[in-house]
Structure 1
């Protein structure tokens, strides 16, 4: 018996093999289908997909044998991978110097008497193992069978490549998830740490204005008002960031049964509306079972935008609701300034802002609608809108009904 030598590119070959992350994994139907086809097409009782590691050959799939692996030094496949570009066929192992004293060749009635293997090669030319067929009697393959076995080997290689790409994608996704988690934690910590100093800044501006306003004069008062306005804007911005990154937590809150009109009234109270405004609720009040926190955040953002981005003397907001067995559908329509056509494709992107200022002269932060979409998606729904400049906007969103 001749032991197989180590390939000249063994270090690189083993690295490529281990990058597949396939050794000692569970059976998979895609691979088992190929070994079954190989056995059937070649008329052989045994077929295997083998991978040659440092010390052993391991079978990713096998038909006709109960073995899980064997020593590399006595494996037929360790010889086959020495010539990655060639098909290896041993018609009678008793007449081949490499194998005639092999323990598998002298194992009684289950002895290997015939072997044919196609090396499985990756994209860089590394032979990782073989697709092989085995018989307990002298045999040979015809040209059509050899061609079919090679074609099946190509399919195994394609599965290996797809598996490797999926692993890399999963690894990249995990890295992105880890970085996203770090970013969320950072944003949360920084935002919380900034809220208190900002509150003190706004309060201090009010105190200075009240106690020393006469001394400061009109110009000094103007600077204090600007300082307070900037502090409040930054505080709103930070609140928006916190709401955006905490939206996933909100979306996992427990479901509860709510009165829709009561929920809307609570939201209107939170907004503290001072403008001349008419808000029309759905004609029919209903009780629905939903994630109250998430739905409240969605409606709060949309109704708030209808108030802010409105230049009409009287603001009109129509809220409607429809129910199907699978979804609750909400619409919020206003008579506001509308959204420019060229800006409509980006309104749900985080930090994407419109080129307009709101009713109080402030520019948006581009967080609210991104949060709305994130919450709606987490609730199993979709959100869309229609808008016409100077005439208004209608948002329609769904959430899964229970």
Structure 2
């Protein structure tokens, strides 16, 4: 018997395997679905998704064997791990490497084996997806292609954990940035001695914006001496621009707004305010302007500013990382989609109805993964500002009706009653692709979270400025798209977070486990960028009503190199 070989990069390979965090975990349906599919397609008794540990092979999913692990040295998968293609043994008793293998001459009496290596996102081989039989058999070229497609599906599920880890890391970064920002807020000075010791830039001005205090840290940042700066107007010390270098109008600057409104004005790290100094230096900044009120009158303001170049770089890096990870994960499911469509078309031979059903299940599961990856790509493009809003005059009712037609099969499957009341022949300046994403997200949510036999109403109308809809008063004349349902509703305590990225209400998770928590976040982000708005009303166990409003003038156009991906 020939023992399973050990690869030269075994140390790195094992490290990659352990980082997955899958060894010795409980069975999961997402993996078991694949091994069951394999046994049905190939009509074999055994299929495993095997992870190759240092001295053992461990089955993350297993059909047909009573154990969850075996000795690596005598394993077939230990050989298949190093294969460059499908590793096939048509008859183990005619192969000198395996004819005296304990699993051949004893239980489970393996006579046939075919396996494909599973590769982690970092390129290391961590396991094998295989099928086994107790009798010899031939394995055609078509059989090999099908096994490789199933292995690609398994590989996608294995690597989906890496994407989850990336999202978890993103949350940590966001939390860290928030904590840093809040810390700056808590450090507001109460007297001159404290102000002078603060590391952020800090300037105190009178009601005419003439400088009366200039901290030491501000001297270091601006390269001005306090004695030279005091008495000057703030505009002589620094200018304020947007990201493209255009001056910010005086009435939009935080210190002007603080003096005019008598309120503290605070920008956030994602707001594109840049400070420019006399030596040409320029950096993005968070700015807090607080009015100083004495005996009900404004006597001046305190201006605090902080260089957030590093925060911006971190935010950009994590969005680019999610985009890169999503691009890498997009390739396998796209290939799987094309191959399953080809198999179902009959071009690679006829299959019986049971086999077709399994291919349809593969296609459905794969489509959910494609939708998730596309949503993540859209999120990264929105957060980087790297997407286009391309508007043209569209018949809004026709666009809405088109999306509803595409969702009709889902509505009929749950036996839902759909009612529509659409504004006829309404023309509006739209980016149709983005508008379809919004409609699809809102209507799909209504379908997913409404019980069988319930009802959904889709409405569109022109609403006047000042009109109240869903406890919200419109600030301008708008086109409003409304989706109402008789579904499970949103718990009151969770309503404030419903548009937060990756957030899902507890009752939503219980009813529909496949959700991503990205649909409403994407819809709101799109509407925010194009000048629209979105809001809702909801009562738990009674239903929800979502409103999406676009100004009657239409969406605001925006140029970039990339488009968001529609369904």
User: Aligned ranges for residues 194-213 of structure 1 at < 5 Å?
Assistant: none
Aligned to 1:315: none
Who is 1:158 aligned against?
A: 156
The change in CA–CA distance for 1:194 and 1:395 in structure 2 (over 3 A counts) is farther
Say whether residues 1:173 and 2:170 are aligned partners.
Answer: yes
Whole-Å Cα distance in 2 between the matches of residues 36 and 77 of structure 1?
18
The alpha-carbon deviation at position 47 of structure 1 amounts to 0.7
Aligned partner (choices 454, 458, 472) of residue 329 of structure 1: 472
Q: Indicate yes or no: 2:267 matched with 1:130.
A: no
1:99 maps to 98
Contact 1:328 1:398 (C-alpha < 8 Å) held by counterparts: no
Unaligned runs of 5+ in 2: 196-201, 207-229, 235-254, 270-295, 298-464, 477-495, 501-519, 540-567
Task: Report the equivalent of 1:3.
Answer: 3
Structure (1 or 2) with the larger CA radius of gyration: 1
Change (3 A) 1:8 1:236: farther
Question: Which residue is 1:139 aligned to?
Answer: 137
Distance 1:146 1:382 in 2: 45
Asked if the contact 1:20/1:163 (under 8 Å) is kept, the reply is: yes
Partners of 2:466 and 2:143 lie apart in 1 by 68
What does residue 115 of structure 1 align with? Answer: 113
Distance 2:25 2:78 in 1: 20
C-alpha contact 1:376 1:397 (8 A) present in aligned 2 = no
Aligned pair count reads 258
Report 1 or 2 for greater relative contact order, CA contacts < 8 Å, sequence distance ≥ 6. Answer: 1
Shift of 1:162: 4.1
Where does 1:54-69 land on structure 2 (aligned, <5 Å)?
Answer: 54-69=54-69
State the shift of 1:58 in Å.
1.7
Query: Does the 8 A contact of 2:257 with 2:265 survive in 1?
Result: no
1:104 aligned counterpart, secondary structure: helix
1:81 touches 1:119 (CA, 8 Å); kept in 2?
A: yes
Give runs of aligned pairs for residues 294-313 of structure 1, distance below 5 A: none
- Matched-pair contact (CA < 8 Å) for 2:258–2:265: no
- Residue 7 of structure 1, CA deviation: 0.6
TM-score normalised over the length of structure 1: 0.50
Paired with 1:182 and 1:332, the residues of 2 have a C-alpha distance of: 34
Equivalent residue of 2:137, what SS? coil
Taking the aligned partners of 1:401 and 1:43, their CA distance within structure 2 comes to 50
Would you say the 8 A contact 1:376–1:399 is kept in 2? no
Once superposed, what is the RMSD of the aligned Cα atoms?
Answer: 4.8
Q: Secondary structure at the match of 1:94?
A: helix
Q: Distance in 2 between matches of 1:79 and 1:47?
A: 16
The offset of 1:133, in angstroms, is 0.7
- Partner residue in 2 for 1:364: none
Alignment partners' CA distance in 2, 1:237 and 1:188 = 18
Mapping for residues 333-348 of structure 1, pairs under 5 Å: none
| Displacement of 1:45 | 0.7
Q: Does structure 2 retain, via aligned residues, the 8 Å contact 1:27–1:60?
A: yes
CA distance in structure 2 between the partners assigned to 1:375 and 1:45 by the alignment: 48
Which structure features the higher share of helix residues?
1
In the alignment, which residue of structure 2 is the partner of 1:191? 188
CA separation in 2, counterparts of 1:181 and 1:173? 12
Q: Is the 8 A contact 2:258 2:264 kept in 1?
A: no
Relative to 1, partners in 2 of residues 1:132 and 1:376: Cα closer, same or farther, differing over 3 Å? closer
> 1:273-330, CA deviations, whole angstroms, 9 ceiling, x for partnerless residues?
9xxxxxxxxxxxxxxxxxxxxxxxxxxxxxxxxxxxxxxxxxxxxx95635xxx3112
> Which consecutive segments of 4 or more residues in structure 1 shift more than 6 A?
194-198, 234-238, 380-385, 394-397
Structure 1 unaligned regions, length at least 5? 203-222, 246-271, 274-318, 334-373, 386-393
CA 45–329 in structure 1, closer or farther in 2 if over 3 Å, else same:
same
2:33 match: 33
Alignment deviations for residues 51-108 of structure 1 (CA, whole Å, 9 cap, x no partner)? 11222222222222232222222221011112x3132222333343433443323434
Cα distance, 1:233 vs. partner? 4.7
Tell me the secondary structure at the aligned position of residue 180 of structure 2: helix
CA contact (8 A) 2:35 2:61 kept: yes
Local SS of the residue matching 1:147: helix
